[in-house]
Amino acid sequence: NAGVTQTPKFRILKIGQSMTLQCAQDMNHNYMYWYRQDPGMGLKLIYYSVGAGITDKGEVPNGYNVSRSTTEYFPLRLELAAPSQTSVYFCASSGTARGIQPQHFGDGTRLSIL
C-alpha cells in the first residue's frame, strides 16, 4: 500500500537551475495537490488538480509549474530556482473534493537552493 510517493527525498540546487519534483499516487484519486512548508510554518498550497488535464493555481504558485497528463502522476516543475524556494514540498491526493474525503500526503521532498 504505497499511497502517495514523492521523489527525490532530498535535493540541493544552485540558483537558476531547474528541476522536477515527482509525485505518484496509486489510489486512483482524482484530486492532487502540491504544498510547501517553510520552517516553523504551516503548509501553503502551490497548485492543485481536479483530474487529468486540469490544473489550477493555489495560494503561492509563482515560480512553479505543474502538469497532470494522467490520474497517477502530478509533477511540480521549478524553472529558475531561487533561494526563496528552499522549503519542504508535500504532494497530497484525495478521492474527491466534494464530500469529506481526507487528503493523503507523501513524505515530502526537502529542497535547498544555494
Partner 1 sequence: DAKTTQPPSMDCAEGRAANLPCNHSTISGNEYVYWYRQIHSQGPQYIIHGLKNNETNEMASLIITEDRKSSTLILPHATLRDTAVYYCIVRPLNYGGSQGNLIFGKGTKLSVKP
Tell whether the torsion through CA atoms of 41, 46, 50 and 51 is positive or negative: negative
Min separation Cβ 74 and partner 1, Å: 14
> From the list 15, 69, 107, 112, which residue makes contact with partner 1 (rule: CB under 8 A)?
107
Asked if 11 touches partner 1 (CB under 8 A), the answer is: no
Alpha-carbon separation of residue 107 from 9, 28, 53, 70 (angstroms): 8, 19, 25, 21
Shortest CA distance to 25 belongs to which of 57, 61, 64, 52? 52
Q: Which stretch binds partner 1 (CB under 8 A): 11-19, 20-28, 43-51, 62-70?
A: 43-51
Q: Is 56 in the site for partner 1 (CB under 8 A)?
A: yes
Verify binding: residue 44, partner 1, rule CB under 8 A: yes
**H or E element: which one contains 54?**
strand 54-57
Residue numbers of the site for partner 1 (CB under 8 A)?
4, 31, 33, 35, 40-45, 48, 56-58, 90, 92, 97-100, 102-108
